[in-house]
Each structure stands twice: as C-alpha cells, then as structure tokens.
Amino acid sequence: MQQYPVIDPDTQSLIEGLLRIQEKHIIIKKETVDTLLKQEDFDPAFRTNLENYLNIAQVYYALPKGTLKEDIPLSISIKELAKLSNVSSLEKTYHILHEDDRELSCILKNCLTAPTAPKDASESE
C-alpha cells in the first residue's frame, strides 16, 4: 500500500487555502478582514497592500462585467457598459480582451448597418 507523506497542519492549511482560489477575486466578509488585520502574525507588506486596496475600495468599485451583463440583451449591455466605462477610471487602450470580441463585433455591425439620418431641408440648401 502506498504511503503518503505526512503534512503538518500549517502546510495543510496553506494547501487548502490555495485550492479555494478559483477566481480572480476573493470574496470575504468585512469583519473577517478586520479580524485578520488585527493579527500580529499577518505579513506587514501583505497587510499594507490589503489596507491600500481597502482604502481605495471606499472610493472606487471593482465591478465585475459578467455580473452586470447577466440576463441582459447584448445590445443593451454593450451600451450601458460603454457608458459606465467612459466615466470610469479605466485607461483607454488599443486592444480588447478576447472575451469581449463578441461585444466589439456587435458594436461594429450596428455602426456599419445603422441607417443614416435624412438631411434637413435647411442643410441641403
């Protein structure tokens, strides 16, 4: 029978924590974070990074696009996300994420097929 190495409780706790990270965000209660920040054995540099983020979070939100787009027609979600992005702190870039290809395609198709408004009589004279 194969014997596995014995893992001490601290190592086991680290492994279990890493296995829980499945997303780009860690969802945690505010009171839990407050308790962690009070612990003496919390790494000072990590504590500083976390505190800096928490200070920013009082002023800024990191809104997940997927949640905002959920159960909303593509044409509407594109328009509303564009409004939100244009007033956000996001930098303008010359590339899009691969996952946003569909949105860009929809925008371009609507722009290319949008009917042009007829000119007023005063404009044509």
Say if residues 106 and 78 touch (Cβ distance below 8 Å): yes
pLDDT tens figures, 5-19: 787 888 887 777 777
Total domains present in the chain:
2
Q: Is residue 56 part of a domain?
A: yes
Domain span at residue 40 reads 27-62
Exposed/middle/buried for 41, CB within 10 Å: 0-12, 13-18, 19+? exposed
Is the whole-model pTM more than 0.85?
no
Neighbouring residues of 116: CB distance < 8 A, sequence distance ≥ 6: none
pLDDT band for 59, please (50, 70, 90 cuts): confident
Q: What is the pLDDT of residues 60-76, one digit of tens each?
A: 878 788 878 888 888 88
% helix / strand / coil in the chain, to the nearest 5? 60, 0, 40
Residue 107 lies in a domain: yes
Asked whether residue 1 is domain-assigned, the answer is no
In this structure, the answer to whether residues 68 and 54 fall within a common structural domain is no
Residues 54 and 76 in one domain: no
CB 76 within 8 A of CB 110: no
User: Distance of CA 124 to CAs 17, 78, 114, 120, Å?
Assistant: 69, 34, 21, 7
Tokens 């601290």 belong to 10
Q: Which residue has better confidence, 24 or 70?
A: 70
